[in-house]
Amino acid sequence: MDYVGHVIRPPSEAYSMIIQVTVGCSHNQCTFCGTYKEQKFYFKDLATIRRDIDEMSSMYRFEKAFLADGDVLILPTETILEIMAYLKKKSPSVVRIGVYGNTKAIIKKTPEELAALKAAGLGIVYQGIESGNREVLRRIRKGAFPHRQLEAALKIKEAGMLLSQTVLLGIGGTELSEEHAIDTGKHLGEMSPDYAGALTVMLLPNTGLYRDYAEGKFVLPDKFGMLNELRLMIINMKVKSRCFFTSNHASNYLPIRASFPGERHKVIALLEEVIRRGDEKLLKPEHMRAL
Ligand code: SF4
């Protein structure tokens, strides 16, 4: 396989055929993200992509595929359609293809383009939200404010694709902790994705956020501060349709998997109890956290 640099994929795509179509991220400015810092964004040539699809298809009968890296939707729709058509021809058992969807890239697609992608097999889009608070999004240079994220989310849902979103606990620092948690909960409720995942910030040495932290300009909430954010977020997350919520990523202190709205109050009660007890033994040890 012609994998260049770090090839990342959502945890739920662990058993998918991973085909690297682009390298890096076209935005590459988020202050917390170190994944592609040294990597220039580019589109791999079609011959290489086809070779990778051939190789993967000969190895295993995959049911799902994921087109990496950070921003495949930025490519012309015809190019993505061509790649997906080849993939489905070589691996007819693949019933769902997924991509990461940068907000700007989603908005650029017309409803007709999104419908064509859906018809060709694009079944799920993973959108990194990080926060629903405008000031937090400005500070972390996410490149998209809440109203644009909402616009993109609705486009994906209207096209009939599954929408999976992630947010980041702690990304507002102690200064904006409450605003971040409350606004993010409301934002997720408004967008009501099919899947929502809360990760916890980890400070990576090659990032701007780390430099701010080292200079004392950014203070990370402590473990229970993170859990309090999660609590506030869920209290405000009044989804309009079923949403499977997780905070079981390796970066999180307390694993949660729940179906909202049904189990929302149960999760809030659990978080309140863990925060009340203040017992670190109930949380994942620091050395076991990872990205
Ligand atoms: S978080 Fe996503 S959009 Fe931001 S720089 Fe990293 S890969 Fe790109």
* Residue 109 within a domain: yes
Show the domain range for 186.
Answer: 11-288
Q: What is the pLDDT of residue 290?
A: 64
Ligand 1 atom, smallest distance to 26 CA:
8
Q: How far is the CA of 284 from the centre of ligand 1 (A)?
A: 26
Contact 187, 179 (CB under 8 A): no
Ligand 1 atom with least separation from CA of 25: 8
Count how many domains the chain has.
Answer: 1
Does any domain span residue 267? yes
Is residue 105 assigned to a domain?
Answer: yes
CATH number assigned to the domain comprising residue 51: 3.20.20.70
Side by side, the strands of the sheet bearing 122-130 are 17-20, 64-68, 96-100, 122-130, 162-169, 195-200, 243-246, 257-260
Inside any domain, residue 3: no
Instruction: Examine residue 6 and state whether it is found in any structural domain, yes or no.
Output: no
Residue 1 covered by a domain: no
What's the whole-model pTM score? 0.94
Residue 77 within any structural domain of the chain:
yes
Q: Is residue 5 part of a domain?
A: no
pLDDT at 287: 65
Taking the centre of ligand 1 as the mean of its atom positions, its distance from the CA of residue 67, in whole angstroms, is 15
Q: What is the pLDDT of residue 161?
A: 98
185-232 per-position pLDDT tens digit? 999 999 999 999 999 999 999 899 999 999 999 999 999 999 999 999
Average pLDDT for runs of 10 along the chain of length 291: 90 95 94 90 96 97 96 96 98 98 96 98 97 98 97 98 97 98 98 96 93 96 94 97 87 87 95 89 69 58
In this structure, are residues 180 and 163 in contact, taking their beta carbons and an 8 Å threshold? no
pLDDT in the model for residue 282: 76
